[in-house]
Structure formats: C-alpha cells, structure tokens
C-alpha cells in the first residue's frame, strides 16, 4: 500500500502527542513535531525519495533515527514506537486530541487527574462540572470544551486540499494504468480547488472489457467497500476518505464531469436555465425531449444553455452565471503567470535552506525574482533577526546578486506588527530593504476594533509594503482573528500597499471572498509561497487555485509583473 507524507505526518504527530501525555523529554517531542511539520509541507512524496535511494537525512531536521523511522513506515506501513505507545496508553485517548482547544498538555491533565480516556468521558466530566476544578482550566474553559465536544460530534471529516491531493493523484495514476482506461479525472470540490475536501469523486471513461471496477475495489488503500457495481463503486480509504468512482460513456463524459464537479448550487442554476429553454440537463447529457443534443464535453453543456465555458473554480453560484451571460467572465490567473515570489525564509530564521539554495530552487521553477523575508526579532520562536543580523543578510544578498544569473534576490523582512501597530524593527533598518512584509503573529484575541486599528496603523508606516496572511487563520487549527477586512482592503488602496495570498496549504489566506473584494477595490494581491525550504515553492499551485476561486486575473496579481515593473510599484510604498 502506498504510504503518503500525510500518513507519516499523522504518525509522527501522534507519537509527539502521546510522548507529551506521558511526560517525555521535551526535546524528543519537539523533534517529532518538527519532522511532522517538515513532511507535511514537503510537496514531494518521501516514498519516492526512499524508492530511488535518496538520503533522507538531507531533509531539514531529519536525523538518522527519524530517517530510519520514515523508512520503517514506508516499507512496513507502521511504526514500532507508535505501536508501543498504543500499548502503554488507553487506546481512545488520541481521540481527545481531535477536540478543538485540547492539546496534549490539557489531555495529560484530564487523563492523570480525572482519568478521562474517551470523548464520552470528557463530555460527561464537562457536564458534571468536574473540569473547572483542574489547575489551568476554569469554568469558561469547561464550557468551551463542552461546546467543542458537541460540535465535534456533528462534524464530518474533511481533508486539507494538499492532503487530499496526495491520495487523489496516487489513485488517479493507479486507475490510469489499468488496461482499457481512457480518461481519469478527479471532480468534486477537489477540482474546484476548495481549501478542504470531504470526499473524492472520480470519473473514468474506459473500454467495455476494462477491469477498472474490480481493480478499484481491490486497491491497496481501500479499507471498506460500501457498494460496487458495473459502472459505480464507493469505498472508504484507510485514511478515512470516501471515494466514489463512476465509469461513464464517452458521449456523456462532459455532462457527468459537469454534474459531479458541482457545486450543487451552480448545477441547480444551470438546470433552471435549461428548463427555461425546454431542455433537461443531467449527468448523462443535455436533452430536448428524448434527443441528446450535448454532453460529450463540458463546453457543449454550457453552449447548449447559451453560456461560455465556466472554469471549475468559479462554479459556486456567486455571480459567475450572470458574468458569463454578460461576457464578463475573468481570464483567470495561471501558475506560469507568476514572475516571482515575495515571501520566503532561509535558515537565518526558521527556514531550512541557505540563500543560495532558495534562489536556485526558485530559478529552477522559472521565477525571475525572490524576496527573502526572514522573521524579525520579536518572533523569538522563529529565531527572528535583529538589526545587525538583517544588515549582514542584506550584504550577503548583494554579494549573491552579483554571482547569480537568471534570478534576482530582493531584500526583505517579515516584520512583526506589534500590538500598538508599530513595526518590530527601526526605520533605519527597514529603509535599506526592497520591501517590508508586515504580519500579525501575536494577540490574536484583540477585539475587532483594536485588531483592525492595529493593522491600519502598521499599513500607514512609510516602509510598509505587503500584509502577510491577512486573517491569521490556520485551516482547522486556528480561526481567523476578528478584523474588518473590507476596511483593511480599502485602506490598502488608499495607502498604495498590497495584500498577500499565502499559498501555504495550512493557510490559503486571503479567503477567496476577500480576493474578490480586493479585485473590486483595485488592490493588487501577491500570491506567495511563504517557503521555508526549497520544496515549498511547489505550494504556489494551491495559491493559484485560491486566487482563481477569488476571480483574480493576471493583472490583479502583483507578482505577475516583471522585476522592473514590480520595483516601480513597491517603491511607491516605501
């Protein structure tokens, strides 16, 4: 069974959590957390590296012991250390860690002080008022836990887009290699580039004698078969993701692809238009009475109802049909449109690679410029730079630019926006930089008014260029801070600065709706990788997907400009 980075990440995270519950050495716990983060952000499958004999210790933060465990997981499908920890601790205790607001430290206290081992026991303890008596909890925390448990019970599991991609791409390649299979496409919310995916809908066209259905249900990663017939099957993968496969006729391929891509609201709107024209649209085609008049391609489906083709990312019934009717559909930005990346880190702060290595990796992807934006000193956990360290890095960038061909490094910093709206470094230092990327990394709990004013004051700073990950959210881990985003967007327009769309799959921040607002207000958005290693530039494709969902065109994106044009734009903000 193929082992994905997400599988290894889950194992290492669980090991770290269980070790923390046991009270193990903090450095050992941190090593597993760092390894989980590194593998989670690694666009290339570790399995491929092992198969071709690469030295895993060359990955940042991966020593010989962790490399051996990665190989053990890849070759054997399990980790002996995790097996041992499962024997030593109650089997259901890891379920507690899935409750929002419950980290390993709190689970440890609940387990040792109240003997809480299951979600049901946690719910009962919260209802009985026993949690509030524990040190560090209190009545408010107890109520939050109770609400989180009840919300958790009603939620279905979703997977981040990049995690879903690991399973989707491997399965797509497996199906494509089956004899008689002609086309394989992953539809649904995955194709629409939603930030999280609930399940996978896969469409296949195949020759009549193809064994695709039998091979699909026998796929190594299948844990349970819900249904299996001649043209459709539904299974549950061992990772917990449901996959529905449908084999469709070539003459219905476009109609089926349109139907199963969704969204439901978009499809209903299209069917309503068809009804007004005396037509019927379903997964088999477009029909006038009993006659099929379209359906072999998606373009034919839209053409039959009098519309141009609408890109999957736009199909949310949020104005795309009206835009199509009026000839106002955007020509959406594409990955090759990007000329550079304005947010990247090196090992000078919390990155894993050198300036030169980051520059060469960016050049290899066809980028013409790369801004080096290590953290500033306030973010001590990321080993942020003080003024002297930043000055030395600027000197090193200047030297490298005389040696490198085909790529230009820009001098920058990801400077902390402090609680009062001031920036973490003095003007004398910031004045030397090509651009200043401001970011909120603390006090996420400020009121809407205070958080908004904090960011507006920072944007008014004469050296401020770009607001990084503007809402501060981490998908499924941290809610966005409360801020008036429209006011921030309009202030960016007035001030002449820019907003970032952070392409890290944990963030995908700006929201697609805020991208639309920025476009409408005339504020340029920079699609950046926030790369912490040479591998992370591959995440730019997820930023492009989010930008397309936000209706952004090439002209709406700051870093589609040439270096000369970019310098003119960012110079106005300095």
Q: Is the pLDDT of residue 199 over 70?
A: yes
391 contact partners, CB below 8 Å, separation of at least 6: 429, 432
Q: What percent of the chain lies above the pLDDT cut of 90?
A: 73
Which tens digits make up the pLDDT trace of 229-266? 999 999 999 988 999 999 999 999 999 999 999 999 89
Beta bridge partners of 340: 369
Q: Cα separation of 261 and 312, whole Å?
A: 7
Angle at 71 between CA 66 and CA 73, to 5 degrees: 95
Of the candidates 432, 423, 436, the residue with the CA atom closest to the CA atom of residue 464? 436
SS3 24: coil
Is-same-fold flag (5-154; 159-247)?
no
Bigger pLDDT: 554 vs 7: 554
Which tens digits make up the pLDDT trace of 314-336? 999 989 999 999 999 999 999 99
* CA atoms lying within 13 Å on the CB side of residue 244: 11
Q: Which of 6-20, 121-135, 519-533 has the highest mean pLDDT?
A: 519-533
63 token code pair: 């020593």
Bigger pLDDT: 106 vs 313: 313
End-to-end CA distance of the chain: 54
CATH class of this structure's domain 5-154: mainly alpha
Q: If you average pLDDT over residues 106-119, what whole number do you get?
A: 85
Query: What value does the CA radius of gyration of the chain take, rounded to a whole number of Å?
Result: 25
Confidence band of 504 (pLDDT split at 50, 70, 90): very high
Domain boundaries, the chain: 5-154, 159-247, 252-325, 335-571
DSSP string, 410-466: EEEEEEEB-TTS-BSS-HHHHTTSSEEEEE--S-TTS-HHHHHHHHHHHHTSTT--E
| CATH no., domain 252-325 | 3.30.210.10
229 C-beta neighbours (distance < 10 Å), count: 10
Of the candidates 223, 227, 265, the residue with the CA atom closest to the CA atom of residue 246? 227
Largest Cα span, the chain: 77
Q: Which fold has domain 159-247?
A: Beta Polymerase; domain 2 (3.30.460)
Q: If you average pLDDT over residues 194-223, what whole number do you get?
A: 95
Q: If you average pLDDT over residues 472-496, what whole number do you get?
A: 92
Q: What percent of the chain lies above the pLDDT cut of 70?
A: 98
Domain 335-571 has CATH 3.20.20.70: no
pLDDT for res 94: 76
Q: If you average pLDDT over residues 348-377, what whole number do you get?
A: 95
Task: Tell how strand 466-467 and strand 408-416 pair up.
Answer: unpaired
* 68-73 contacts at long range (C-beta below 8 A, 24 or more positions apart): 69/12, 70/8, 70/35, 70/39, 70/46, 73/3, 73/7, 73/8, 73/11
103 token code pair: 């980290």
Alpha helices in 476-539 (DSSP H): 485-495, 512-521
Which tens digits make up the pLDDT trace of 417-476? 999 999 999 999 999 999 999 999 999 999 999 999 999 999 999 999 999 999 999 988
522 C-beta neighbours (distance < 10 Å), count: 11
Burial 335-349 (b: 16+ CB within 10 A, else e): eebbbbbbbbbbbbb
């Amino acid at each position: 069974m193929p082992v994905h980075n997400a599988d290894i990440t889950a194992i290492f995270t669980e090991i770290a959590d269980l070790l923390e519950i046991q009270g193990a050495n903090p450095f050992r716990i941190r090593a597993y957390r760092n390894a989980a983060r590194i593998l989670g952000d690694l666009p290339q499958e570790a399995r491929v590296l092992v198969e071709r004999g690469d030295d895993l210790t060359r990955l940042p933060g991966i020593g010989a012991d962790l490399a051996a465990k990665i190989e053990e997981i890849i070759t054997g499908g399990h980790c002996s250390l995790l097996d041992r920890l499962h024997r030593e601790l109650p089997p259901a205790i890891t379920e507690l860690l899935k409750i929002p607001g419950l980290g390993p430290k709190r689970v440890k206290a609940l387990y040792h002080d109240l003997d809480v081992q299951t979600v049901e026991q946690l719910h009962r303890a919260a209802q009985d008022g026993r949690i509030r008596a524990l040190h560090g909890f209190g009545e408010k925390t107890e109520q939050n836990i109770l609400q989180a448990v009840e919300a958790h019970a009603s939620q279905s599991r979703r997977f981040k887009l990049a995690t879903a991609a690991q399973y989707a791409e491997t399965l797509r390649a497996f199906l494509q290699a089956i004899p008689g299979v002609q086309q394989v496409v992953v539809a649904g919310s995955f194709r629409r580039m939603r930030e999280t995916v609930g399940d996978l809908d896969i469409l296949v066209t195949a020759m009549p004698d193809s064994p695709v259905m039998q091979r699909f249900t026998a796929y190594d990663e299948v844990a349970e078969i819900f249904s299996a017939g001649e043209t459709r099957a539904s299974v549950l993968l061992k990772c917990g993701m449901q996959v529905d496969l449908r084999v469709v006729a070539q003459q219905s391929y476009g109609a089926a692809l349109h139907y199963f891509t969704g969204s439901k609201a978009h499809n209903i709107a299209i069917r309503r238009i068809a009804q007004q024209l005396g037509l019927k649209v379903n997964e088999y085609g477009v029909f006038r009475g009993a006659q099929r008049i379209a359906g072999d391609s998606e373009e034919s489906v839209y053409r039959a109802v009098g519309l141009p083709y609408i890109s999957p990312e736009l199909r949310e019934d949020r104005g795309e049909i009206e835009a199509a009717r009026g000839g106002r559909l955007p020509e959406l930005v594409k990955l090759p449109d990007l000329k550079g990346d304005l947010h990247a880190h090196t090992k000078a702060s919390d990155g894993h690679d050198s300036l030169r290595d980051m520059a060469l990796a960016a050049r290899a992807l066809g980028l013409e410029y790369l801004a080096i934006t290590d953290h500033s000193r306030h973010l001590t956990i990321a080993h942020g730079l003080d003024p002297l360290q930043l000055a030395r890095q600027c000197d090193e960038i200047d030297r490298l630019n005389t040696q490198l061909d085909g790529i230009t490094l820009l001098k920058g910093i990801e400077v902390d926006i402090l609680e009062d709206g001031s920036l973490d470094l003095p003007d004398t230092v910031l004045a030397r930089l090509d651009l200043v990327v401001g970011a909120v990394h603390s006090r996420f709990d400020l009121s809407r008014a205070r958080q908004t004013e904090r960011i507006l004051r920072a944007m008014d700073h004469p050296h401020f260029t770009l607001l990084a990950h503007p809402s501060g959210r981490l998908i499924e881990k941290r809610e966005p801070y409360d801020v008036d985003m429209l006011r921030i967007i309009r202030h960016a327009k007035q001030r002449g600065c820019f907003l970032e769309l952070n392409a890290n799959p944990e963030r995908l921040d700006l929201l697609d709706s805020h991208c639309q607002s920025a476009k409408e207000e005339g504020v340029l958005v920079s699609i950046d990788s926030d790369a912490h290693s040479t591998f992370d530039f591959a995440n730019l494709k997820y930023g492009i997907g989010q930008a397309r969902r936000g209706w952004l065109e090439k002209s709406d994106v700051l870093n589609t400009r040439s270096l000369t044009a970019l310098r003119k734009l960012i110079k106005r903000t300095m």
